[in-house]
Every structure is written in C-alpha cells, then in structure tokens.
C-alpha cells in the first residue's frame, strides 16, 4: 500500500511539474527588450501571379506566385531609439519551409514624404503549402537584446473578393521555386 501511495505521489509531483513548465512556456512576457510593428503588403512585382489592381495594400492573404512584403519598424526598450542599421546587428524573417529572409533598412513612400523602415519581399513559391502559416520576425540589437514577433499569414488558391483580384487573367512567367532550407 505504501509503495502504491509513493508511486501515486511521485506521479502527482511529475504531473504538476510538467503542467507548471507548460504554463511557463505558454505565458507571454510582461516586459520586452524590443518592440516591433509588423505588417505585410502585396508587392508590386509578383513573378508568378498577375498584379493586383493596387500594390502595397495591407493584407495577410496571398496566392502562390504573389509577392508578400514584410514591413517592420520598432524601438529599443530603455533608450527608445528606433531600430535602424545603426543599432541592429541583424534582422530577418523566418518562414516555415524557406530560407530566412534578410530584412533591409531603407526608404519608402512618396518622393515628397519618404520614411525609413525595414522590409523584405518574398515571392510565394508555386509549391508553397496552402493554408495558414506563421512567420517569425527576429531582431538582434548591437546591445545583444532580441525582438521577436510571430506574424500569421495565409496562402490561398484564389483571392476572395473582386476588389482584390488581379487585373489580368493571364499569369506572369512561371516562378522558380525558392530554395528550401
């Protein structure tokens, strides 16, 4: 009987330990070292699909062959300095099944009002799995702090609404699939 109780006790302790560690892993942090803004827009130069009527509109739904552009800006906690090439060691986007995409610091917008932020473009491969996926944006600052952001996007066979559909029915040249990691 004692042995049975001992086994039951150990099992209970193990269960609590596992649940506790799962809870800790799932808990979001209360403080961050780096804050990030992330969105995605449709790029103006898709290589495997027709262009949409308007480029650079915010969307997280893409078809294969379309150009998905990540736009990111952020700041360091403590100093409040905006993340730029001056204080970032590296920045990239990690996408399931693909090589990491380097984020580039550059100027965007109208000539009269150009602003600088981080971008990276992906031509969605012709064989990329349909459905939901999560891209992870990672920044490492020169101070050694990290910023991470998980961004959900969806790859669909066709776009849903007429306003977002491409202007031309004729697809562009067949896209060469991106290298897989």
Partner 1 sequence: MRPKIAVLVAGVVAVTAVTATALAVTPGETPFPSPTIESVFVSTQTVTGPSSQLGEGVLSNYYPRGATVVFKVFAADVKSGRILTADDVKYAYVAIPNQSNVKLSYTAQVTRSDPTWLGTWTVPADYPTGLVDFAVRFRTTGKQFGNFTQIPVATSRLNVTK
Minimum distance from residue 143 beta carbon to partner 1 (Å): 13
Nearer Cβ to partner 1 (89/180): 89
Minimum distance from residue 11 beta carbon to partner 1 (Å): 29
DSSP string, 152-177: EEEEESS-SSGGGS-S-SS--SPPPP
Report CA-CA distances (Å) from 153 to 21, 63, 86, 130, 156: 29, 11, 30, 11, 10
Minimum distance from residue 172 beta carbon to partner 1 (Å): 20
In three-state secondary structure terms, 89 is strand
**Where do contacts with partner 1 occur on this chain (CB under 8 A)?**
26, 28-33, 35-41, 54-61, 71, 73, 75, 77-82, 84-86, 107-110, 113-117, 148-151, 154, 160-161, 163-164
Identify the H or E element spanning 20: helix 2-26
Minimum distance from residue 180 beta carbon to partner 1 (Å): 25
Nearer Cβ to partner 1 (127/142): 142
Rounded to an integer, what is the distance from CA 109 to the centroid of its chain? 21
């Amino acid at each position: 009987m004692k042995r049975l109780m001992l086994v039951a006790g150990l099992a209970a302790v193990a269960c609590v330990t596992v649940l506790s560690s799962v809870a800790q892993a799932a808990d979001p942090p209360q403080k961050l070292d780096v804050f990030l803004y992330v969105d995605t827009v449709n790029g103006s130069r898709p290589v495997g699909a027709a262009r949409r009527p308007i480029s650079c509109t915010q969307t997280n739904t893409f078809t294969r062959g379309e150009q998905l552009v990540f736009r990111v800006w952020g700041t360091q906690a403590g100093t409040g300095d905006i993340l730029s090439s001056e204080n970032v060691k590296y920045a990239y986007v990690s996408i399931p099944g693909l090589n990491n995409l380097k984020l580039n610091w550059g100027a965007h917008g109208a000539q009269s009002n150009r602003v600088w932020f981080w971008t990276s473009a992906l031509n969605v491969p012709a064989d990329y799995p349909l459905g939901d996926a999560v891209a992870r944006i990672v920044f490492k600052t020169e101070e050694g702090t990290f910023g991470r952001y998980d961004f959900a996007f969806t790859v669909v066979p066709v776009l849903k609404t007429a306003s977002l559909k491409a202007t031309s029915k004729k697809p562009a040249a067949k896209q060469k699939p991106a290298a897989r990691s």
